[in-house]
A = this chain, B = another copy of it.
Amino acid sequence: MRVQGVARPKTQLLSAARIADGAIELVDRTGDVQMVQLARHLGVAPSSLYSHVTGRAEVIDLARLRMLELMESVGPAHDWREAVANLLRRLTALYARHRRILPLLSTTAVACDRSIAVYEPMFAALIDGGFRRDQLRLVVAMVEFQAFGLAQGLPAPVMSDHIRETLPAYTASVDHSRYDLPTATEFSVAMVIGGLEAIRTHPGAP
């Protein structure tokens, strides 16, 4: 709730967290966040907003940090497998709740140290697990790609008499499909862990 005072009390109530929450709400609802719309959504003047952030890119980066902070804590992991599986499951759930912000996140630089810190336990677990230093960023990329894709999902499959007659293998894939987010997430976790295990134990791996 805003408390109205005499001079310009509104800006006193602005905070990084409130700006980030407002941005997430706005993107969830409209698919985008622009400074003027965000100021209106927060009930403040654009100038007040600009006294807290430099512009749209910083707002999006604050939203990313806020989302990562709201993500169920990954916590300490026994080993790299658990660290990777936890991060993949939790990122997927987070991204699935906020699908419309994904295109904005992937085109905005990560500038906030605290966003990066969320990934530190996984990087550490990967080093402990014997992955090469030059593989670390690649591993995190693969996990991010899977979480993004799982959250966005696939276009619905189509079927027709003509497809049924001419594309039997595709038809079998649709007739037996059990594609839903929980199943696809666990399939992805099994693939990523199995694939990274193969890479980890293969000296000539990419």
| Residues of B close to A133: CB separation below 8 A | 172-173, 175-176
Report the minimal beta-carbon distance from A23 to chain B, rounded to whole angstroms: 17
27 contacts between A and B (CB under 8 A): A103-B103, A105-B155, A106-B152, A106-B154, A111-B158, A113-B163, A113-B167, A120-B167, A120-B170, A133-B173, A135-B187, A136-B173, A136-B176, A137-B157, A138-B187, A142-B146, A144-B149, A144-B154, A145-B146, A145-B150, A146-B146, A146-B149, A187-B206, A190-B199, A193-B195, A194-B195, A197-B198
Please report the C-alpha to C-alpha distance between residue A116 and residue B163 in the assembled complex, in whole angstroms: 9
Task: Give the complex CA separation of A54 and B108 in angstroms.
Answer: 35
A155 to chain B, nearest CB (A): 5
- Per assembly, the copies of the chain total 2
A interface bracket (residues with beta carbon within 8 Å of B): 35 or more
Cα–Cα, bound, A156→B174 (Å): 38
